[in-house]
Amino acid sequence: MRIHNLYVDDKGESHFRDIEVDWVEERSGSKLSSRLPATGVIFRETSGDYDLDWHPAPRRQYIINLDGGVQITASDGEARIIGAGEVILVEDITGKGHLSKSVGGKMRHSIFVPIE
């Protein structure tokens, strides 16, 4: 399973990379990862005309898209569409940050899982 990761380098530029989930257990036809730290759950509804200028993430957090998508552009110019059912770990809490905007004018529901 792949997770998108948006991180910042020592010069303040944000970049994407992919993280593969490590499976540590198999049971009843399922694979499980180890338990990861989290400090809460935030539910979010984002309008279909969402278009946010450059900003760093407010905290390290996983974002899980339930429906709709978001286009995120890192400060190095790479843009990715994070679709429904996909997960991104945002860690660019310093530096220039990233752009984010709705995809296709559709409202998006997502879950933020802070890990600070």
pLDDT tens-digit profile of 15-28? 999 999 999 999 99
Q: Residue 116: pLDDT above 90? A: no
Q: Residue 6: pLDDT above 80? A: yes
- Provide the residue ranges of all domains of the chain, joining segments of one domain with +: 2-114
d(CA 24, CA 66): 25
d(CA 110, CA 85): 9
CATH number of 2-114: 2.60.120.10
pLDDT tens-digit profile of 19-74? 999 999 999 999 999 999 999 999 999 999 999 999 999 999 999 999 999 999 99
Mean pLDDT, rounded, for 102-115:
95
9 pLDDT band, cuts 50/70/90, is very high
Write the single-letter amino acid at 27. Answer: R
Contact 15, 9 (CB under 8 A): yes
Contact 108, 70 (CB under 8 A): yes
Who contacts 89 (Cβ-Cβ below 8 Å, separation ≥6)? Answer: 3, 4, 5, 6, 19, 60, 61, 62, 63
Q: Which two tokens stand for residue 111?
A: 């879950």
- Of 107, 55, 59, 61, the closest CA to residue 88 belongs to 61
